[in-house]
C-alpha cells in the first residue's frame, strides 16, 4: 500500500480454498515499510476498521505500509506420514488443549486392557509438518498477551 492510499476492500485470507470451517480473525495490523523486523511502536491495529462483512477501510498515512492479517483457520491438513491406522486430520500443535486431548487418546489406546503404561516412559514427536504460513491457534494471542504483556 502506498502513501495516502485508502484501502477499502475485504481483507484476503490465507488459503481460503482449504478452509474447513469458520475463520477467526485474530488481528489486522499495518506496519510501515517492508522490513522483516516489526517495530511494535509503529504498528497500527486495524481491527476497528473492519465491518461485519470483513471489509477493511483505512486511510494509510504517508509512506509504504504492509497490512498483516492474522487468522485462526482449520486447514483440513491430513497427517503427512500416517501409519495404516492413523490417517486423519493434523492436531493443532500450538494448542495445549488439543495436544492434551490427542495424547490422552493415544495413552488411553495404549493402556486399554492394561493396568498401567508398563515400561513406556517417553512419547517422542519425531516430526512437525504444518503448512506454512499456517501455524496459529485460537487463544494464542491471549496467552501471549498474558505471558509477555
Read off the pLDDT of residues 64-108 as tens digits, 9 standing for 90 and up. Answer: 888 888 877 777 777 777 777 777 777 777 778 888 888 888 888
- For the chain, the structural domain boundaries read 6-72, 76-143
Identify the top-confidence range among 8-12, 19-23, 127-131: 127-131
| Average pLDDT for the chain | 76
Phi first, then psi, for residue 24 (nearest 5°) are -105, 120
3-state secondary structure of 141: helix
Phi, psi of 116 (to 5 degrees): -160, -170
Query: Does the pLDDT of residue 6 top 50, yes or no?
Result: yes
List, in order, residues 6 or more apart from 12 with CB less than 8 Å away.
Answer: 69
Q: Give the strands of the sheet with 24-32, arranged side by side.
A: 44-45, 24-32, 65-72
- 133 pLDDT above the threshold of 50: yes
Amino acid at each position: 500500500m502506498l502513501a495516502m492510499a485508502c484501502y477499502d476492500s475485504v481483507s484476503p485470507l490465507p488459503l481460503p480454498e482449504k478452509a474447513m470451517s469458520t475463520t477467526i480473525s485474530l488481528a489486522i495490523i499495518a506496519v510501515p515499510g517492508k522490513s522483516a523486523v516489526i517495530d511494535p511502536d509503529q504498528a497500527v491495529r486495524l481491527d476497528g476498521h473492519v465491518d461485519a462483512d470483513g471489509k477493511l477501510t483505512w486511510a494509510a498515512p504517508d509512506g509504504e505500509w504492509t497490512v498483516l492479517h492474522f487468522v485462526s483457520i482449520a486447514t483440513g491438513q491430513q497427517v503427512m506420514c500416517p501409519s495404516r491406522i492413523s490417517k486423519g486430520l493434523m492436531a493443532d500443535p500450538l494448542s495445549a488443549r488439543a495436544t492434551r486431548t490427542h495424547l490422552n487418546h493415544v495413552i488411553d489406546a495404549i493402556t486399554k486392557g492394561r493396568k498401567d503404561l508398563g515400561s513406556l516412559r517417553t512419547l517422542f514427536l519425531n516430526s512437525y509438518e504444518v503448512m506454512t504460513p499456517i501455524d496459529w491457534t485460537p487463544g494464542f494471542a491471549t496467552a501471549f498477551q498474558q505471558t509477555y504483556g
